[in-house]
Amino acid sequence: MKIVNGVGTKGLATRASNDLTKVGFAVTTLSVEPSGATNSVVQYAPGQLAAARTLAAAVPARRCTKTRRCWRATWLLVVGSHYSGAHAVRVAGSRAARLERLGEPVVVGTAVDQRRAKPCSL
C-alpha cells in the first residue's frame, strides 16, 4: 500500500505507516502531497473494494474511492489532519482468519516472508 501525507504535517505518513505495520498491513511507499485533507480516504484498485474496506475500518477513513491511480499498489491511503492512529480489525470468514485458527502461517499483505496471521492479514 502507498500512504500519502495529504496535509504536509512532518512525519504523518511515517506515523501512519508505523501504526498500520504494527496491526499487520504491508506498506510499500510513502509520499507527501499536501492537499489540505482533513479526513483520511482510501483509494483502491478495481476489484479491491473488500480489502479497501478493511483498511478503512483500521484507520478509520471517511470513504473508499475506486481509482486507476493505484496501478502500482492495491491501495492508496491519503492521511488527513484528523488521523489519530490505526487499530486491528478482523475480517470474519477471511482465509487468513481461518488459517489463523488452524495455526497455519500466512503471507501478510505483499510481504515475502511468512508470519503468523495478524488481525488485518488479507
Q: How many CB atoms lie within 10 A of CB 49?
A: 13
| CATH code for residues 2-88 | 3.30.70.2390
* Phi then psi dihedrals of residue 70, to 5 deg: -90, 30
Q: What is the DSSP string of 27-87?
A: --EEEE------S-EEEE-TT-HHHHHHHHHHTT-SEEEE-GGGSSSSEEEEE-TT-----
Between 45 and 101, the more confident residue is: 45
Per-residue pLDDT, averaged over 88-116, amounts to 52
Place 92 in a pLDDT band, splitting at 50, 70 and 90. Answer: low
User: According to the model, what pLDDT value does residue 93 have?
Assistant: 61
What's the predicted TM-score (pTM) here?
0.71
